[in-house]
Structure 1
Amino acid sequence: MHIQANYSLLKHNTFRVNIRSQYYVEINKQSDILTLRTDVKLASLPWRIVGDSSNLLYTHNFPGVTLRCTFNKIRIVKEDDENVWLSVGGGVKWHDLVEYTVNKKWWGLENLALIPGTVGAAPVQNIGAYGAEARDVITRVQTLNVYDGSHREFRNAECNFGYRTSIFKQEYINRLMVYRITLRLRKFSHGQANLSYDPLKVALQDHKKEEITPRMVFDQIVSIRQQRIPDPAVQGNAGSFFKNPVVDDNYFHTLQNDYPDIPHHKMLDGSYKIPAAWLIETCGWKGHRHGSAGVSQKHALVLVNLGGATGSELAELAQLVQEDVNHKFGIYLEPEVIIL
């Protein structure tokens, strides 16, 4: 374990914002936390848990201790004729894990390809895309308490998974570090492709279901994401900045009277989910620039660092977008990204 002072987090956030943490520590074993807590100065400061900060927007330097999990082991803990249970360290890159499972011809993660960040962040955010979510395959989440180093395991039902949220993002934020998760995946001959996302279904429509492999789905998802979302290495971003809002039946039909072509998805409870990207684009924000920050020309839901943007510039742009959408549609866009 190595404690670094006045540490730049530039390479540890996908917005590519250059801010600093007073101290930075990589945790790769349980005893590291207990060792840190014996230091009176470090123990007195606020602590923040991060992965690759692919869902965080830093707006100022952090006067505390930034902790990053680097557990990176992948192992099979159980398997039968139909399933495999995989234990994965929180420090593993999420996309690397997805590609590993695809190479094994296991079903479950292929729709979540190319999502930035680490495995440890996946249950915190309950990452999701293209008809799949992390909670669909997570069976257990192993955590370490950053106050006393104690271990606690959560079963899926105890994680309170919701739309881009979980118990780790709410009650236990910056208290429990996810250092390992267990996934239940389906073996090739006992699973099938999740084609609930229409563009994916269209892309693979010439194939019979039994001909489709996890690799084929993976390749299509990678292609779709590369077309729609800028590469964070080229234009810093966190993917979708806002959640897709949900409105009740009455308000949806009021909106539909004014905007007959409004895209929507009816939920099981009768409410309607509206694409935030459509709301933003209809307000004229797609491709708009605010200082060194901007709304992506590829996808209106993505805010980008056009080069040298500060976190404050990006946060100001987000607020301007929120205000405009709220004024035009009477809908508040809730950020998916955590602004710090």
Structure 2
Amino acid sequence: MHIQANYSLKPHNSFKVDVSAKYFVEVTKQSDIPVLRSDLKLTSMPWVIIGGGSNILFTHDMNCVIVTCSYDKLKVVKEDEENVWISVGAGMNWHDLVTYTVEQNLWGLENLALIPGKVGAAPVQNIGAYGAEARDTITRVQTLNLFSGERIEFRNSECNFGYRTSIFKQSYTNQLLVHRVTFRLRKLSHGRANLVYDHLRDAFPHEQIPKLTPKEVYDKVVEIRKLRVPDPRIYGNAGSFFKNPLITPEYFEKLLETYPDLPHHKTVENQYKIPAAWLIENSGWKGVKQEKAAVSEKHALFLVNLGGASGEEIRQLAHKIQGDVDQKYGIHLEPEVIII
């Protein structure tokens, strides 16, 4: 356990916004929480949980206790003929976990390569990319209650996973700290590539698809992301800023009358998912700069810090984009990024 006062959060948010926290606490084990709660100064303040800070936009200094889990151990907890179950500490780097699994020839996480952040954020946000989501492989989530220190475990069916959301983001915000996550992954000969995402499937020759390995899919995902996604080490960003909106079949048909080339994906719930990047780009925002913030020239779904931007500047840019898309298409873009 580590406690630091008046601590800069710039290294702990991928937007590289320079704000500070009154206190910054790294938790490694269950017994840390009762110790922290015994400090009257810490207990008197609100507590805010963050992971790697790759999905947060700070708009002001945080007069609170910022809590993160730094426990990062990985172990195989079960194995049978077809599957391997691994339990992973919430503090482990997500891409490092994905890299480990493909090196072990395990199917399940390869489509989620190069997503920034830590393992603990995966169930909270139900991270997803290229036709895969964290909920596809998560079996259990072990959490610590920030008030009592109690260990509470959730099965997959209890997590209320949805599109970029979960029970941890809905009902237990800043109450339960994810400590460990268990994943069930398929062995090489008992799994296959998830190529439901057209752009990924089209990247492979047709005859190669039945023979693909997790590492080959992983390598292709990394290649595609590097071409399309701005590097947060150069321009601070939090990945996709907005969720892809869902609209009704009736409204989709209405939009098609005006925009016959409207890209879409029909969901199993009979809704239509529209790419937010297409809406933003066709509203004229791709590459637009506003003070020290901008919409990426690579991908319209990414808002970037050109250097020295405040969180409020980035928030204002997002607000203007929402207004223009709403006015042109009658669709409200909901942020995927958590704005604080």
TM (norm. structure 1) is: 0.99
Partner of 1:143: 143
Matches within 5 A, 1:217-236: 217-236=217-236
Letter in 1 for 2:273: K
Letter in 2 for 1:254: K
- Kindly report structure 1 stretches of 4+ aligned residues shifted beyond 3 Å: 206-210
Cα distance in 2 for residues equivalent to 1:105 and 1:60 = 44
Partner of 2:161: 161
Please state how far the C-alpha of 1:205 moved relative to its aligned partner: 2.2
Partner of 2:101: 101
**% of aligned pairs identical?**
62
Partner of 2:188: 188
Please state how far the C-alpha of 1:206 moved relative to its aligned partner: 4.3
Partner of 2:296: 296
Partner of 1:118: 118
**Is structure 2 residue 80 aligned with structure 1 residue 84?**
no
Secondary structure of residue in 1 paired with 2:154: strand
Matches within 5 A, 1:1-340: 1-340=1-340
Greater mean alpha carbon deviation, residues 203-212 or residues 165-174: 203-212
Cα distance in 2 for residues equivalent to 1:208 and 1:332 = 40
Structure 2 gaps, min length 5? none
Contact 1:9 1:19 in 2 (8 A): yes
Structure 1 gaps, min length 5? none
Contact 1:192 1:209 in 2 (8 A): no
Cα distance in 1 for residues equivalent to 2:136 and 2:92 = 19
Please state how far the C-alpha of 1:74 moved relative to its aligned partner: 0.3
Secondary structure of residue in 1 paired with 2:177: strand
CA RMSD of aligned residues (A): 0.8
TM (norm. structure 2) is: 0.99
Map Cα deviations across residues 111-136 of structure 1 (whole Å, 9 max, x no partner).
00000000001000000000000000
Aligned length: 340
Cα distance in 2 for residues equivalent to 1:53 and 1:269 = 32
Contact 2:33 2:148 in 1 (8 A): yes
Secondary structure of residue in 1 paired with 2:317: helix
Cα distance in 1 for residues equivalent to 2:8 and 2:152 = 31
Secondary structure of residue in 2 paired with 1:325: helix
Secondary structure of residue in 1 paired with 2:167: coil
